[in-house]
Chain A
Amino acid sequence: MNRLARMATARRSPGRWHWTDVAAYAYLALGVVLMFGPVLWLGLSSFKTQAGLLEFPPSLLPMSQKEVRVEGHAQPLPLFEVTLEDGSKRVLAQVRRIGIQAQMVDPANPGQSIRVPIDRRTAVREFKLATENYTEPLERFAFMRFLWNSVFVTAVATLITLVINSMAAYALSIYEFRGKTAVMLMVIGTLMIPITIILVPVYLVITKLGLVNSLWAVILPGAATPTGVFLLRQYMLTLPRDLIEAARMDKASEWQIYWRIVMPLAMPALAVLAIFSIMWRWNEFLWPLAVLTKTESYTLQIGLNAFQGELQTQWHYLLAMTVVTLLPVALVFVFLQRFITTGIANTGMK
């Protein structure tokens, strides 16, 4: 209790409230709403039925119309709250609608039918999760296959990226050699070329290598990231040189120095690169779409986007599947949150 009270009143300097403290907490509260709100809304929306998604104003929680079984009708009937001509309100079930008139019955007294203009009725609704948005597509598609492909691509690509990028960064930070400037310039020069603009040429290379439809076609092209080399090199430059010299004195091979000494020391930077690589690979869409055409080799992002047709997007499925692809990232984040944020702050582009 005491702790809670202290927490609520914590501020910059004990004893007095400065207006900046108030402003800071207000800003942070706004931030929580602004940052979490949209994703929360996406999650809630993914549990709405197709009709529920179209409603305006949208309901906060997934709702659907309540239905009752009425004697003499095979199908359950939808319930409405109706304002009758004398002004009284009743809950009635609708049998059918003809033009702008609805034929309704009282569920308690199904014999007598009542005619009601359709603008005098409002649907009675109840909270209901449309879980079929999730189950139907997951049953229809080889979800486990897609998931496995995505995990495979993400894991292998990240491992390769870490190893070869760190090797290159090691060479560029520890050694002096001929051509170093040229290599650095190449790395920096291509630092920011988006794959979108060289999609077709890379596709041609992959075709010539016979890799189309193999997961390696997704893994390999992005492995040598200039960003990764740049980030790791900047970090390795700050490592103490004497350690390396000492190891050389002890007759450690260069490979051992790299693997046993430099790599463990560069762990924070490697972790940052690992996280970014996992993120890039998991979220990749355009490139896999170009090189993977067989169902067996689809990644999640492609397999679950099959709901975007020429003329229609099946929103209820699309939103649900977006949440599915988002979940692993969210989980990784929940567990590694502190590690991720401090890691970036620590390397933080020195």
Chain B
Amino acid sequence: MASDAPIPAAQPERAGAASLLAAPLALPMRLIDWPMQGLQRLIGERRMAYVFLLPNLGFFSLFVFLPLVINFIFSVTGGAGLFPSERPYVGAQQYAYLFDCGSFLDASSCREDHFWRGVANTARFTIFQVTAMVLFSLLTAVVLNMKIRARGFFRAVYFFPVLLSPVVVALTWKWILQRDGLLNAAITSLGGERILFLVDPSWAMFWVVFVSIWAHMGFYTLILLAGLQAIPADLYEAAEMDATPRWRVFWRITLPLLWPNMIVVIVLALIRGVQTFDEVFVLTGGGPGTATLMVVHYIYETAFANQVQNFGLAAAASVVLGVVLFALTLLQLAASRRKGAA
């Protein structure tokens, strides 16, 4: 519903890229048509849906569904073996171990305290990150939607970090934030004291959130920008004639009409927040102490970094995470349903 906003000048490139993409496939696609027509005659038009689904589902079952099942088997077995056949069945022991807590409000009362610290950090991170992400991408989208010069350039500026790999993003910022980095050089040249950004827990969390916003904001900004451009201009013109104050226009017209896109942004950012790993891993290594240790980092460390690679416990933790992620995606589903009705 949102965005058939006319964005000119995309047409020529689009045609060029389209033929470029299609060219290598033209011949095979034509060849596939023969057996496909035969198949269609055999099973009928409507059942062709299954044929179209088959390749994707094949890959999917082999590389996502089957691994999920194996993962579940890992989580109910123990030992250090790699193949499920080498691993003794232990029932819910891994889960029990994970949930063995004196009090769920205090991570240090748990046997597997790092998991719970990871959960708490991830929750904290996600809340801060999503809030800030929505605010900043909204602000940026609004600014980019104003009648400004060189809009294409500025749009590109905000978008380009999206293309960088998480490792590069984290490395770049680590280089700036370290003790003798660029930022501290700037601070000391202005007469300030060096700040050890990655040694202080609150600063570390701040930068983790900041860098994550830096890297992904462009994507969300574009989604919101599309929504803004889809808002009919006459609404604004009418408001201008009535001399409505700008903040009121924003509050009464822009925000309500942008709401569907906002939901997409919130939910996507939420799910990505829960998954965060690479960036934080390279930037802070989960420290100081365990101040930025995330759940996925915990799972990775449990499965790989220790001498006894504890696949069972890691799998149990990932099943728990999977359940949470599934709940969040259902939330998205519900939200997009509501959006569809709106």
The short answer to whether A and B are in direct contact, CB under 8 Å, is yes
Contact B49 A175, beta carbon cutoff 8 Å: yes
Q: A255, B296: Cβ atoms under 8 Å?
A: no
- Docked-complex contact A205 and B329, CB < 8 angstroms: no
Quote the shortest CB–CB distance from A339 to chain B (angstroms): 4
Please determine whether B223 and A34 come into contact, CB atoms closer than 8 angstroms.
no
Selected contact of A258 from candidates B10, B52, B152, CB within 8 Å: B52
Among A36, A183, A338, which residue has its beta carbon within 8 angstroms of that of B57? Answer: A183
- Contacting pair B143 A192 (CB below 8 A): no
Whether A58 pairs with B180 at a CB distance below 8 angstroms is yes
Indicate the size class of the contact surface on chain B: 35 or more
Assess whether A41 is in contact with B53, with CB atoms less than 8 Å apart: no
- Contact between B275 and A192, CB atoms less than 8 A apart: yes
> Are A168 and B52 also in contact (CB < 8 A) when A36-B157, A322-B168, A333-B160 are?
yes
* A229 surroundings in chain B (CB, below 8 A): 56
Closest approach, in angstroms, between the C-beta of A36 and any C-beta of chain B? 7
Q: Is the CB of B176 within 8 A of A56?
A: no
Task: Determine whether A349 belongs to the interface, using a CB cutoff of 8 Å to chain B.
Answer: yes
Residues of A within 8 A of B171 (CB): 42, 318-319, 322
A340 to B329, CA, bound (A): 26
Q: Mark B1-29, 1 if CB is under 8 A from A, else 0.
A: 11101010110011001100110110001
Check: B163 CB closer than 8 A to any chain A CB: yes
Chain A contacts for B47, CB-based, 8 A = 177
Cβ of B43 to closest chain A Cβ, rounded Å: 10
B333 is an interface residue with CB less than 8 A from chain A: yes
Does residue B123 face the partner (Cβ distance < 8 Å to A)?
no
- Cβ–Cβ < 8 Å partners of B65 in chain A: 186, 190
Given A54-B180, A168-B57, A340-B159: A254 touches B48 (CB 8 Å cut-off): yes
Q: In the complex, A340 Cα to B152 Cα: how many Å?
A: 11
Is A164 touching B325 in the complex (CB atoms < 8 A)? no
What is the CA–CA distance of A223 and B58 in the complex, to the nearest angstrom? 11
Distance, CA A190 to CA B322, complexed state (A): 9
Please tell me if the beta carbons of B63 and A224 are within 8 angstroms of each other in the complex. yes
**Nearest residue, chain B, Cβ from A305:** B167
Contacts of B163 in A (CB 8 A): 279, 329-330, 332-333
- With contacts A177-B47, A326-B168, A349-B264 taken as known, whether A224 is within 8 angstroms of B148 at the C-beta atoms is no
**A256 proximity list for chain B (CB < 8 A):** 33
Q: In the bound complex, do residue A285 and residue B167 qualify as a contact, i.e. CB atoms below 8 Å apart?
A: yes
| Most B C-beta atoms less than 10 A away, residue of A57, A172, A197 | A197
For the complex, what is the distance from the CA of A28 to the CA of B329, rounded to whole Å? 34
Could you tell me which residues of chain B, from 164 to 184, have a CB within 8 Å of some CB in chain A? Answer: 164-168, 171-173, 175-176, 180-182, 184
Residues of B within 8 A of A24 (CB): 143, 146, 148
Given A10-B149, A196-B296, A338-B9, the answer on whether A348 and B160 have CB atoms closer than 8 Å is: no
One of A32, A36, A343 near B10 (C-beta < 8 A): A343
Pairwise interchain contact B296-A194, C-beta atoms closer than 8 A: yes
CA distance A57 to B160 in the complex (A): 29
**Residues in B neighbouring A41, C-beta threshold 8 A:** 172, 175-176, 182
Q: In the complex the two chains form, is A204's CB within 8 Å of B303's CB?
A: no
Interface residues of A in 162-177 (CB under 8 A from B): 162-165, 167-168, 170-172, 174-177
Interface majority SS (helix, strand, loop, mixed), chain B: helix
Cβ contacts A272-313/B at 8 Å (1 or 0 each)? 001000010011011000000000000001000000000000
What's the nearest-Cβ distance from chain A to residue B208, in Å? 15
CB pair B17 A339 closer than 8 Å:
yes
Contact A201 to B74, CB < 8 A, known contacts A255-B36, A341-B159, A345-B5: yes
> In the complex, what residues of A have CB within 8 A of residue B68's CB?
190, 193, 198, 201
What residues on A are CB-neighbors of B9 within 8 Å?
A: 338, 342
Contacting residues of chain B (79-131) with chain A, CB-CB under 8 angstroms: 82-83
Are the CB atoms of B14 and A177 closer together than 8 Å? no
Considering only residues 83-114 of chain A, those with a C-beta below 8 Å from chain B are none
B37 at the interface (CB under 8 A from A): yes
How extensive is the interface on chain A, given as a class? 35 or more
CB-contact partner of A193 in B7, B64, B167, under 8 A: B64
Within 8 A of A (CB), among B314-333: 314, 318, 321-322, 325-326, 328-330, 332-333
The answer to whether A255 touches B40, judged by C-beta atoms less than 8 angstroms apart, is yes
State which of A69-77, A116-124, A262-270 sits at the interface with chain B: A262-270
B82 touches A204 (CB 8 A): yes
- Among B199-207, B225-233, B284-292, the one that faces the other chain is B225-233
The reply to whether the CB of A148 lies closer than 8 angstroms to some CB of chain B is no
A293 to chain B, nearest CB (A): 15
The answer to whether B10 touches A342, judged by C-beta atoms less than 8 angstroms apart, is yes
Instruction: State the CA gap A349–B223 with chains docked (Å).
Output: 7
Q: Is B239 an interface residue (CB 8 A)?
A: no
Contacts of A221 in B (CB 8 A): 59, 63
Q: Could you tell me the distance between the alpha carbons of A319 and B175 in the complex, rounded to whole angstroms?
A: 10
User: Is B13 a contact of A339 with CB atoms below 8 Å?
Assistant: yes
Judged by a CB distance under 8 angstroms, whether B259 is at the interface is no
**CA distance in complex: A36, B110 (Å):** 44
Shortest CB-to-CB span from A43 to chain B, Å, is 10
B173 touches A56 (CB 8 A): no
Question: Which residues from chain A contact B225 at a C-beta distance below 8 Å?
Answer: 345
Q: Mark B61-72, 1 if CB is under 8 A from A, else 0.
A: 011111111110
With A163-B25, A253-B36, A339-B14 already in contact, the answer to whether A205 and B157 are too (CB < 8 A) is no
Cβ contacts under 8 Å, A56 to chain B: 180, 184-185
For B29, give the chain A residue with the smallest CB separation. A259
| B147 adjacent to A31 (CB under 8 Å) | no
Q: Any chain A CB within 8 A of the CB of B311?
A: yes
User: Distance in Å from the Cβ of B246 to the closest Cβ of chain A?
Assistant: 7
Q: Which of A5-39 contact B (CB under 8 A)?
A: 7, 10-13, 20-21, 24-25, 27-28, 31-32, 34-36, 38-39
Q: Is B299 an interface residue (CB 8 A)?
A: yes
The smallest C-beta distance from A325 to any residue of chain B, in angstroms, reads 8
**A201, B167: Cα distance in complex, Å:** 24
Given A200-B71, A344-B219, A345-B5, list of 12 further CB < 8 A pairs? A24-B143, A24-B148, A39-B172, A58-B182, A164-B56, A177-B47, A198-B318, A224-B60, A271-B18, A279-B165, A337-B160, A341-B159
The 7 residue pairs across chains A and B that have the minimum distance between CB atoms:
A283-B165, A201-B67, A348-B226, A168-B56, A224-B59, A175-B49, A201-B70
Q: List 8 A-B contacts (CB under 8 A).
A: A41-B175, A168-B57, A190-B60, A205-B66, A224-B57, A283-B164, A338-B9, A345-B229
